[in-house]
Amino acid sequence: MSRYFARPKTCPFCTDKNLPLDYKRADLLRRFITDEGKIRPRRQTGVCARHQRQLAREIKRARHIALLPFVGELSEY
């Protein structure tokens, strides 16, 4: 009987100090939002608390200047 043990995730921003967290890098920020446009929680991404706060701030800045969508794709009924 094999069980799945989740290993602790490491923060990509703490491990790579050269990875800048900036609102202009929309391709990087897209990894941290869902298909609906919501910000993914820390338990899914493995980002530390400090960088999660910075990440949320940069995602909101990118949304405000239309680099990221506020909502995901709208489905037709």
pLDDT at 75 over 60: no
Q: What integer pLDDT is reported at residue 40 of this predicted model?
A: 95
- Give the Cα-Cα-Cα angle 68, 60, 20 (nearest 5 degrees): 85
pLDDT tens sequence across 3-58: 777 777 889 999 998 988 999 999 999 999 999 999 999 999 999 999 999 999 99
> Which domains are delineated in the chain?
27-70 (4.10.640.10)
CA atoms within a 13 Å half-sphere pointing along the CA-CB vector of 35: 3
